[in-house]
Amino acid sequence: MPFDFLSFWIIVAVAVFTLLANAIRVLREYERGVVFQLGRFHKVKGPGLVLVIPVIQTMERVDLRTMVMDVPTQDVISRDNVSVKVNAVIYFRVIDPQKAIINVERYYEATSQLAQTTLRSVLGQHDLDEMLSQRDKLNADIQAILDAQTEAWGVKVTNVEIKHVDLNENMVRAMARQAEAERQRRAKVIHAEGEKQAAEMLVEAARTLASDPRALQLRYLQTLTEIASERNSTIVFPLPIELMNAFLGRERG
């Protein structure tokens, strides 16, 4: 059977094309390629056109963009034994592609599991009031713990936000009763403070009136004027002895 040179060159061309197609990779600006040569780490390549030798070299793509991860709702028991459901969102990105591929298997899933356990651990050390009123502090604490533990994976946790702290209906009603009791307490305190200030002012006014009899007489006359302005058919009012003595003193003089 004669040798078919045309078929041979067609096969060679197809093989070369296949090798080139597998060897040439294009990485976007936000991507890096971790290249292994015969199973050992070789280098990090990209972005742009990357040549990978088939069979001898393999490459793993790594996305360097900031990723948004929703932490599933976690059941947390606070330090004051209140059961709540908490969920959060985490922002992180890969800063070292080599560590992200070599030091951990599936860094996204590993970060997710670590975030869930850290969320329960940190929030369980605080009271319910702190969870509701000090979210910024709790966010910072969780972010610092996650960032320290994911550093070995080449992952940087940039931000953590607690989204919801859900309470059961019994706890919501109890908190409503507590808030109402607190408002009543504040109202009573304000009322008592007003009574105290009014009493102090009355005592001061009495001292002023007692220090000068003329002031007392003027106050008495002002009261008569106010009573006379009202529509009353009969007016009965006491006549102070001090006022009579003052008028009698003037007549004798």
The model's pLDDT over 75-127, given as tens digits with 9 standing for 90+, comes to 888 888 888 899 999 999 999 999 999 999 999 999 999 999 999 999 999 98
- Are both 120 and 161 inside the same structural domain? yes
Q: Same domain, yes or no, for 80 and 161? A: yes
Q: Which domain holds residue 31?
A: 13-63
pLDDT of residue 149: 94
Segment holding 50, helix H or strand E: strand 48-51
Percent of the chain with pLDDT over 70: 75
Radius of gyration of the chain (CA): 43
Instruction: Classify residue 248: in a domain, yes or no.
Output: yes
CB-count exposure of residue 89 (10 Å: 0-12, 13-18, 19+) = middle
Q: Per-residue pLDDT for 160 more than 60?
A: yes
pLDDT, mean of residues 13-33: 85
**Rounded distance between C-alpha atoms, residue 79 and residue 211, angstroms:** 62
Least confident of 7-16, 22-31, 79-88: 7-16
Tokens, residue 43: 């280098």
Across 64-84, average pLDDT: 90
Number of structural domains found in the chain: 3
- Between CA 197 and CA 203 the distance in angstroms is 10
Question: pLDDT: is 167 or 95 the higher one?
Answer: 95
Give the pLDDT of residue 1: 45
Do 131 and 59 belong to one domain?
A: no
- The H or E element spanning position 90 is strand 83-94
In this structure, is residue 136 part of a structural domain? yes
Q: How many other β-carbons are positioned within 10 Å of the β-carbon of residue 169?
A: 7
What would the pLDDT profile of 169-216 be if each residue is shown by its tens digit? 666 566 656 766 777 888 888 888 888 888 888 788 777 766 766 666
- 47 and 80 inside one domain: no
Question: Is residue 234 one of the residues assigned to a domain?
Answer: yes
103 and 74 housed in the same domain: yes
Backbone angles phi, psi at 211, to 5 degrees: -75, -20
CA-wise closest residue to 123 among 70, 169, 174, 85: 85
User: In this structure, are 82 and 160 located in the same domain?
Assistant: yes
**Which one, of 28, 113, 40, 120, lies nearest residue 74 by Cα?**
120
pTM of the model: 0.65
Q: Examine the domain organization and report whether 114 and 99 are in the same domain.
A: yes
